Amino acid sequence: MRARPESDQLAARALRPRVRPGRLTEIPDSKVGQLLAVLDRSGLPGQLEDILAGRPGPSGIRPRTVLAGLMLAVYYTGRATIADAWRVLHFGLRPTARAWLGIPEQAPATAREGIAASRRLYQGLDRITSALDPARCDRRRRLPQADANAHAAAWKDKAGRTAADRLQRLANDLVLTTVQLAQERGHLRAWRGDVGVDATAIPVMAKPDSEHSDSASVEITAGWHFSGGSDKGIFGYSATLLVAAHTRPPGPAGKTQGLVEYPQLCLGLVLDTPTVRTGPNAITLLRHLTELGLPTGTCAADRAYTGCAPANFQIPARRLGYRLALDYKAEDRGVQGSWQGAVLVDGSLACPHIPAALANATHRANDKAVRLRSDELNQAIAQREPYFLKLKQNADARGTIRLQCPAAGPSPSVNCPRRDRLRPHSPRTPGPPQAVIKLGDTRTRASHPAARPTIQLPENEWLAPKTKEELPSVCGASAISVPADAGGDLKTAKFRQDSRYLSSVWDRTYKPIRSHNEGINGRLKSAEMDIGSPKHRRAPGQVAQTLLIAIMISIGNLDILESWLFRSTGEHLTDIDDEPGYGPLSPACESQPRHNAGRHPPPTH
């Protein structure tokens, strides 16, 4: 056999995994069992076994072992690399855990044995990514731009989207397993269903496409991610994340009463090309989350999601039962449209005769003016409130709500001559309040007609009053229905939200949820485990990056759960391994009594 060139031998020595004796840590079986329970419960190893069944070539190392090694590597080192997984599996496990994963009892004793063991892990990961990749290509070198474009196009056709959706589902199932465990143990009982959705940058080590040599990037489906307010892009992927959040209770700032206690977990992950499928990716996560039977509350999103086509984000989110809290660009603020005669002002429907000065108070206001609101703007926002339509019926199963005129009902907020003419007071409808009122009663004073603004009708309507049929529906009908899709009115479907924009309620809703998004990003991109560092997940390709990010986020959720439990009760997750869901749940263990599964599971091969 011909000897390998000296250059190849030197390259092989440079890439050879090395053991660092001073940093070897013996991992307890309880921690291995806990992570194996999460992995097995997600169903990811079993589904990968089914996908790989019948493929040519040797079966090699099992997907369960590869994924378990990566999970242990992330937990103990913060890095999702095969080199760290190799060190953990072969030099950090006890005999019992080795038997669970099919790892030889003796660690590699020579360099050749070490290289062979690491190569088996690399090949195991390569088989997984090859089976899940819609357009498998050589990730070790740059391709001509035309070839790369052809491979990237394969991700967009019908078969490619089916494979990509399957990949995202497998990865998200692993993340949601940690959420299910928290749900079953009652840790999320104080959570009301409020979520924040955001996309964060996932940079890669590969360089972008070259403009000079006509060669494409190794990451053929990557792109440029631009964070809000920045004109400098980051080459890589965008990770759409959901976070469990809550709104701030009303009351003076700084008070702690009414605060809720729950672990602020990441509730979902989708890794995709930046600026592509922004809205659909968020809806995919919301659908996966509703399958768990968790409550639905307010979904807060930044302007990237407000700018989506309504059919891609706003409409399906409302139909899933979520209320929306949105922000707007400068050119979208102020009057945005109308629906059945009502005027859409900053996402809320108002009386058609709301004063123009109030409706246009935020027209083309820049971000600085909105963040640091002047006294005049705050006063105009407060004066708008009586003119907004009142909620008569919450959203039904299709996301349709019922709104009524602000002058209607037992507690009108404005005086309207048109409403008084169309619906005069009857014995069942209380008439004007008595002339004598209690001036010391604040509520009584506020309900008096003199304390409410009066709608100013056009002059010609005083001379020739319009009939009920001639008036818009918001004035002629007792209430109007606003479907989730606004009957095809794109502007109403796109901009409508469930909180008065820039009001105190909106501040208590939108700002805390958005801060929770930033908090989960900071937690997952911390020094201990940084999903934003390409060196912590070196395997190239969208498939590998998706799986590695999912593993890192799952471990991040477990870390959040452990920290929250220790802070709240002083317990550890491994202290309560008798409860369902923990301990190795491999097929060989399912027939064993549950109380023994977490302590002495039989080996699986």
One DSSP character per residue, 175-228 reads HHHHHHHHHHTTTTTT--SEEEEEEEEEE-SS----SSS-B--SSTT-EEE--T
d(CA 469, CA 464): 14
pLDDT for the residue 594: 30
Structure tokens at 78: 């913060």
> Closest Cα partner for 520 from 263, 275, 274?
263
Domain ranges, ordered by start, for the chain = 1-132+572-605, 191-326+497-569, 343-483
pLDDT for the residue 438: 63
For 403-435, the pLDDT digits (tens) are 999 998 888 999 998 888 887 654 445 555 555
pLDDT for the residue 322: 97
For 13-42, the pLDDT digits (tens) are 555 677 766 666 789 999 999 999 999 999
Helices vs strands, H then E, count in the chain = 23, 12
Q: Within the chain, what is the greatest distance between any pair of CA atoms?
A: 110
d(CA 54, CA 567): 48
d(CA 567, CA 187): 13
Which architecture characterizes domain 191-326+497-569 according to CATH? 2-Layer Sandwich (3.30)
Q: What is the DSSP letter of 372?
A: S
> Closest Cα partner for 541 from 240, 14, 266, 155?
155
pLDDT for the residue 335: 96
Rg (C-alpha) for the chain, rounded Å, is 30
Rounded percentage of the chain residues whose pLDDT exceeds 70: 84
Cα–chain center distance at 291: 15
For strand 298-301 and strand 323-325, is the pairing parallel, antiparallel, or unpaired? parallel
In terms of average pLDDT, the best of 132-136, 145-149, 247-251, 383-387 is 383-387
Give strand pairing partners of 236: 203, 223
- H/E/C letters for each residue in 472-489? CHHHHCCCEEECCCHHHC
d(CA 521, CA 449): 50
- Of 18-22, 64-68, 516-520, minimum mean pLDDT range: 18-22
For strand 335-339 and strand 342-345, is the pairing parallel, antiparallel, or unpaired? antiparallel
One DSSP character per residue, 246-304 reads -PPPSSSTT--TT-------EEEEEEE-TTSSHHHHHHHHHHHHHTTT----EEEE-HH
For strand 323-325 and strand 348-350, is the pairing parallel, antiparallel, or unpaired? unpaired
Q: Is the pLDDT confidence value at 593 over 70?
A: no
d(CA 36, CA 27): 13
The gap between the terminal CA atoms of the chain, to the nearest Å, is 35
d(CA 412, CA 394): 19
For 485-496, the pLDDT digits (tens) are 998 899 999 999
Which residues contact residue 386 at a Cβ distance below 8 angstroms, ignoring those fewer than 6 apart?
406, 413, 414, 452, 453
pLDDT for the residue 140: 76
Q: Is the pLDDT confidence value at 251 over 90?
A: no
Contact 102, 605 (CB under 8 A): yes
Structure tokens at 57: 């070539």
pLDDT for the residue 161: 94
d(CA 101, CA 117): 14
Sign, CA torsion 133/137/138/144: negative
Q: What is the DSSP letter of 5?
A: P
Structure tokens at 329: 């660009």
Contact 564, 552 (CB under 8 A): no
d(CA 560, CA 358): 45
d(CA 83, CA 86): 5
SS3 content of the chain, % helix, strand, coil (to 5): 45, 10, 45
One-letter identity of residue 555: I
pLDDT band at 584 (very low <50, low <70, confident <90, very high): very low
One DSSP character per residue, 87-136 reads HHHHHSB-HHHHHHHT--SSPP-SHHHHHHHHHHHHHHHHHHHHHH-SS-
pLDDT for the residue 448: 73
pTM: predicted TM-score of the whole model, two decimal places: 0.87
Higher pLDDT, 74 or 115: 74
Q: Is the pLDDT confidence value at 573 over 70?
A: no
> Closest Cα partner for 243 from 327, 153, 307, 175?
175
